[in-house]
Chains A and B, each alone.
Chain A
Amino acid sequence: MGDKIKALWRKTLWAWSPESERESSESIVKNFWLHWFPAKVARASMDWNYSFWLGTASASLLMILTVTGVMLMFYYVPSTERAYGSIKDLEYAVSFGRLLRNQHRWAAEGMVAVVYIHMARVFFTGAYRGTRAINWVVGVILFLATLLLSFTGYLLPWDQLAFWAITVGTSIAKQAPVVGPTIQFILLGGHEIGQQTLLRFYVLHVFFLPVFVLVLFAYHMWRVRKDGGLAAIEGVRHERAMAPKATPKTKSYSLFGITPGTSVQVMSSTGLEESDQVFSSPNMSRRIALVFLVVFNITLLAALLFNAPLEGLANPSVTPNPAKAPWYFVWLQELVASTTVRMGGFTVSGALLGGILLPGFLLAVLSLWPFIDRSSLRTEGRWLAPERRRQNVTFALATLAIIVLIVVGVYLRGPYWRIYWPGQPRPEMPRLY
């Protein structure tokens, strides 16, 4: 009996723990969940110290967010009258509702951070050259979509943070030249924030943006494969190009596994030697599972230790003092608060300059960077290549500037958005809303 169960177990799950090279290669073809992996991956691609597996961590967070998000949808009601109450229900009346919301919230904030750090890794390793430039641009769009998902997400509880974030966010949109007022009207579903607004942001958050991200994520992964794997392999490739060519082997690997018999030599898309590669199953599949479990447990731990913030019920009349955006947007708040330019009788609002033009410029430069980078291809896939020092310093300084603005916004800004140094007493503000 025990042997029979063991045999059945093996029959169902052999693909996840292949016991021979043949099973390793066949698992990719015969298992649906593994079929989107290449049969073999470069050792260099899987180096923990090269990529830190940040992309996999981002994808894990996306998965956690999708599942916890769908579960929250069973209780959340996108109505201005009931939204806040349904969040309170999740917190106090639903078993583990608070845990789910906490995990959703911390995974979301984690995703913003991890996706950005993933982008920084790709930048510092110069991994966006050649055909990978397309994936860089896709990545920038995915980062933007991550921010939009966060924004539309924290609007849904219909608390003070939500209401005033919509007010400020859509007022920034209104400042866009020519089309601004129309965009604001369409986003709000009217001239004022109301039921239409909440419903629109809800549908954006639970359908349009997630589907957009999932489709783009699939394309992102497909491109990684088309580009031959991570840029880390380019270093190996450069080494191999200099080494004398090995004699071709008679046994060869196609994209999907071992090609039976002595066939035509099939070059793998990476152009790497056999010794540089390992089977995806189990070498990559196990690492992905490990990264997912680590990420999952970190978000779970955060959810157990810290509660997701929830402010008072939205009051359309009284703004909290100070009204602060979440940390990943607070640098934009600093920008819109300090970039109004006055020259004589002519005024350019900070909402346009710091809210639209400056972030738009940063995004454009970021997207076009692979096409600006003129360093030699030898820097490709190498951490902090000396030839790219100026580029890396530029990126690091821009990141540092954003972090400084975030620290100022989060820790130093007090009532009426004034600076209060640590230790300086802050006036007590009546919380009458």
Chain B
Amino acid sequence: MDSDRRKILRFIGKGSVLAAFLGQIGAAGRAFYPNVLYEPPSRFKLKRPNDYPDGYTFVEAHRLFVIRQKEAFHVISAICTHLGCTVQWKDTEFDCPCHGSRFLPDGTVISGPAPRPLDWFATTVSPDGFLEVDSASDVARDFRLLVGKGKA
């Protein structure tokens, strides 16, 4: 039937215009989702192990603490697991200035809103002798990087 054919053609015509319109809206939305990021890598080098004194050292540029106990090193993130503020080391515990979370020296939550302990980053010594940290990682709480006197 002639009218049926018209209906179908009209449907295809209007439908394709509408589909193109919706497709463009989708494309515009997708453009908000960046494909290329100009961000620092999650693996980076710190100073040489021997540049850090015993105890807790805050590394401002990377928002983490390097903790040295003689030849054993580990690295704890300074980013509060609650809402991302920088925690501060207060002699015996980490305290957060934004919402009052408190953490033990190993990053376990004492009190406050933080839902989980502070992250521990995998740490190695790079071939050229620097501490190398992977901030995308979270290692077990018994992790220690042993640096012999001769190695560093």
Contact = CB atoms under 8 A, between A and B. Distances in A.
A185 B71 CA distance: 39
Interface string B79-121: 0001111101000000111111010000000001111100000
A115 interface: no
A317 B39 contact: no
**Among B34, B99, B114, residue most surrounded by chain A Cβ atoms (within 10 Å):** B99
Nearest to A417: B100
A384 B1 CA distance: 68
A192 B32 CA distance: 15
Contacts of A186: 32-33
Given A190-B39, A350-B113, A171 B84 contact: yes
A340 B100 CA distance: 12
Given A194-B39, A418-B100, A168 B85 contact: yes
A344 B118 CA distance: 19
A333 B39 contact: no
- Could you say which interface size class chain A belongs to? 35 or more
Nearest to A348: B115
Interface residues of B, number: 28
**Among A168, A192, A340, A416, residue most surrounded by chain B Cβ atoms (within 10 Å):** A416
A203 to B, nearest CB: 11
Nearest to A189: B34
B142 interface: no
Given A171-B83, A186-B32, A336-B83, A416 B97 contact: yes
B85 A323 contact: yes
B112 A337 contact: yes
A337 to B, nearest CB: 4
Contact of A339 (B33, B85, B95, B113): B113
B8 interface: no
Contact of B98 (A168, A185, A189, A196): A168
B29 to A, nearest CB: 9
**Among A185, A189, A319, A333, residue most surrounded by chain B Cβ atoms (within 10 Å):** A319
A349 B114 CA distance: 7
A416 B84 contact: no
B28 interface: no
Nearest to B88: A321
A185 B30 CA distance: 12
A190 B95 CA distance: 28
Contacts of A172: 83
Contacts of A190: 34, 37-39
B100 A347 contact: no
Interface string B17-40: 000000000000000111001111
A179 B116 CA distance: 21
A323 B33 contact: no
**Among B84, B95, B100, residue most surrounded by chain A Cβ atoms (within 10 Å):** B84
Contact of B99 (A196, A316, A336): A336
A191 interface: yes
**Among B40, B84, B113, B116, residue most surrounded by chain A Cβ atoms (within 10 Å):** B113
A263 to B, nearest CB: 44
B113 to A, nearest CB: 4
A320 interface: yes
B30 to A, nearest CB: 10
Contacts of A377: none
Contacts of B113: 336-340, 349-351
